[in-house]
Structure 1
Amino acid sequence: MSAGVSAGTGVMSSLLGKLSALLGDEYKLLKGVRKEVEFLKRELGTMNALLVTLADAEKLDPLAKDWRDKVRELSYDLEDCIDIFMYRLGSGRAKSRFMRKTMGRLKTLWTRHEIASQIQNLKARVEEESKRRQRYRLDSIISKPGTMNIDPRLPVFFAEAKGWPLMARGIKSSDCSWTERKSSKSCPLLVVEDWGKTTLAMEVCHKIGGNFQCQAVVSVSSTLDLKKLLKDMLYQIDQYEYSQSEMWDEEQLVRRLRHILEGRRYLIFIDDVWRIHDWKFVASTLPENNNCSRIIVTIRITAVAKSCCSNLGEQIHDLEPLDYFDSRRLFLKRIFRNDGCCPAQLEEVSHRILKKCGGLPLAIITLASLLASKTESMDQWELVLHSISSTHEDGSELEGLREILLFSYHDLPYYLKTCLLYLSMYPEDSEIDRVQLTWRWIAEGLVTEKIGQTLEQISDGYFNELVNRSLIRPIEIGIDGTARACRIHDMVLDLITFLAIEENFVTMLDTNKFNLLPEKIRRLSLHNSYEERHGVIEATTRSKMHVRSLCAFGSIKKIPELFGFHALRVLDFDGCEWLENHHIKNIGGFFQLRYLRFRLAKISKIPT
Structure 2
Amino acid sequence: MAEAAVVQALIKIGSAFGDAALQPLKDLIKKEVALLIELPELAKCIGRELDMINSFLVQVRTKIHSTENEVLKRWVVRVRKVAYHVEDIMDEYCYNIAKLQEENFISRMMRSANYVATFHDIASGLKEVDTEIKHLSQMKTTYKEFFSELLSNTTDSTQAHLSRDNSLHTVKEGIVGMDVEMELLNLWLGRSDCTRAVMSVWGLFGLGKTTLVRKVYESNRKSFDCVSWIEVPHKYNNDVMLRQLIKDLCQDQSQIAGSIDSMYGSQLVDILCVVLSNKRYLIVLDNVWDAAAFHGISSFLIDNGNASRIIITTRTSDVASLAQDAYRLKLKPLSDKDAMELFCRRAFQNSISMACPPHLEYLCHEIVKKCGGLPSAIYAIGNLLAAREQTEVAWKTMNDQFQCMLEDNPGLGEVRSALSMSILFLPRHLKNCFLYCSLFPQSYPLSRETLVKLWTAEGFIARRGSSTLEEVADEYIMELIRGSLLQLQETDEIGRVAFCNMHDIVRELALSYSRKEMFGLSEDDLQADHQKEDVRRLSISKDNKNVRSSLEFPRLRTFIAFNRAGRPDSLSSLIDKSKYLAVLELQDSPINTIPANIGELFNLHYLGFRRTKVKSLPKSIEKLINLETLDLKYTEVDELPKEICKLKKLRHLFADKLVDHNRRVFRYFKGTPLPHGFSHMEEIQTLETVQATKDSIELLDCLTALRTLWVENVHRADCAKLFTSLSEMKNLSSLLISATNDCEALDFSTFRPSNMKLQKLIVRGCLENNTFDKFVHGSHIKYLSLSSSKNGTDPVPLLAKHMPNLIYLSIRKWCCVDEVALRKDGFPRLKTFFLGDMTQMRTLDIEPSVVGSLEALYLVSLTAMTTVPRGLELIASLRKLVVWGQSDEFKLEWERENWKTKLHHVPEIRV
TM-score grouping bracket, smaller chain normalisation: 0.5 to 0.7
**After superposition, where does 1:186-585 map in structure 2 within 5 Å?**
322=176, 325-328=179-182, 353-354=210-211, 371=288, 374=291, 375-376=293-294, 395=383, 399-478=413-492, 480-510=494-524, 514-518=527-531, 519-532=533-546, 537-538=549-550, 540-541=551-552, 543-544=553-554, 546-556=555-565, 558=567, 559-560=570-571, 561=573, 562-563=575-576, 565-576=578-589, 578-582=590-594, 584-585=595-596
User: Does the aligned pair in 1 maintain the 2:289–2:314 contact within 8 Å?
Assistant: no
Match of 2:612, as an amino acid?
Answer: A
Larger Rg: 2
Counterpart for residue 34 of structure 1: 37
Change (3 A) 1:481 1:128: same
User: Does the aligned pair in 2 maintain the 1:471–1:488 contact within 8 Å?
Assistant: yes
Distance in 2 separating the partners of 1:465 and 1:369: 21
Q: Is structure 2 residue 72 aligned with structure 1 residue 64?
A: yes
Counterpart for residue 16 of structure 1: 13
Which of 588, 595, 601 lines up with 1:590 in the alignment?
Answer: 601
Q: TM-score, normalised by structure 1?
A: 0.57
Change (3 A) 1:575 1:129: same
Q: TM-score, normalised by structure 2?
A: 0.40
Distance in 1 separating the partners of 2:606 and 2:195: 48
Change (3 A) 1:7 1:606: farther
Secondary structure of the residue that 2:6 maps to in structure 1?
Answer: coil
Counterpart for residue 100 of structure 1: 108
User: 1:547: how far off?
Assistant: 1.4
Higher relative contact order structure (alpha carbons within 8 Å, sequence separation ≥ 6): 1
Percent identity reads 21
Distance in 1 separating the partners of 2:129 and 2:17: 17
Gaps in structure 2 of 5+ consecutive residues:
159-167, 202-206, 217-283, 299-310, 316-374, 385-410, 622-911
User: 1:48: how far off?
Assistant: 2.1
Q: Is structure 2 residue 52 aligned with structure 1 residue 49?
A: yes
Counterpart for residue 135 of structure 1: 142
Change (3 A) 1:18 1:344: closer
Match of 2:592, as an amino acid?
Answer: E
Change (3 A) 1:581 1:98: same
Distance in 1 separating the partners of 2:186 and 2:495: 22
Distance in 2 separating the partners of 1:369 and 1:440: 36
**After superposition, where does 1:147-158 map in structure 2 within 5 Å?**
none
Secondary structure of the residue that 2:63 maps to in structure 1?
Answer: coil
Distance in 2 separating the partners of 1:6 and 1:126: 14
Counterpart for residue 127 of structure 2: 120
Q: CA RMSD in A?
A: 4.5
Secondary structure of the residue that 1:476 maps to in structure 2?
Answer: strand
User: 1:521: how far off?
Assistant: 1.4
Secondary structure of the residue that 2:463 maps to in structure 1?
Answer: coil
Distance in 2 separating the partners of 1:368 and 1:526: 43
| Cα displacement string for residues 107-130 of structure 1 (whole angstroms, at most 9, x for unaligned residues) | 222223333433333333223222
Counterpart for residue 248 of structure 2: none
User: Does the aligned pair in 2 maintain the 1:572–1:596 contact within 8 Å?
Assistant: yes
User: 1:435: how far off?
Assistant: 0.5
Distance in 1 separating the partners of 2:462 and 2:600: 26
Change (3 A) 1:341 1:444: farther
Change (3 A) 1:487 1:112: closer
Secondary structure of the residue that 1:525 maps to in structure 2?
Answer: strand
Q: Which protein is richer in helix relative to its size?
A: 1
| Cα displacement string for residues 375-396 of structure 1 (whole angstroms, at most 9, x for unaligned residues) | 54799999989xxx98879945
Distance in 2 separating the partners of 1:133 and 1:415: 27
| Cα displacement string for residues 217-248 of structure 1 (whole angstroms, at most 9, x for unaligned residues) | xxxxxxxxxxxxxxxxxxxxxxxxxxxxxxxx
Counterpart for residue 604 of structure 1: 615
| Cα displacement string for residues 561-587 of structure 1 (whole angstroms, at most 9, x for unaligned residues) | 2235332211111321x21214x3222
Distance in 2 separating the partners of 1:98 and 1:355: 74
Aligned residues: 410
| Cα displacement string for residues 485-511 of structure 1 (whole angstroms, at most 9, x for unaligned residues) | 11111111111011111101112114x
User: Does the aligned pair in 2 maintain the 1:9–1:55 contact within 8 Å?
Assistant: no
User: 1:483: how far off?
Assistant: 1.9
User: Does the aligned pair in 2 maintain the 1:67–1:133 contact within 8 Å?
Assistant: no
Match of 2:126, as an amino acid?
Answer: I
| Cα displacement string for residues 38-68 of structure 1 (whole angstroms, at most 9, x for unaligned residues) | 3453244133233244246223144334323
Q: Which protein is richer in strand relative to its size?
A: 2
Secondary structure of the residue that 2:586 maps to in structure 1?
Answer: strand
User: 1:425: how far off?
Assistant: 1.1
Secondary structure of the residue that 1:586 maps to in structure 2?
Answer: helix
Distance in 1 separating the partners of 2:208 and 2:115: 69
Match of 1:416, as an amino acid?
Answer: L
Change (3 A) 1:339 1:526: farther
User: Does the aligned pair in 2 maintain the 1:92–1:100 contact within 8 Å?
Assistant: yes
Change (3 A) 1:353 1:491: same
Secondary structure of the residue that 1:467 maps to in structure 2?
Answer: helix
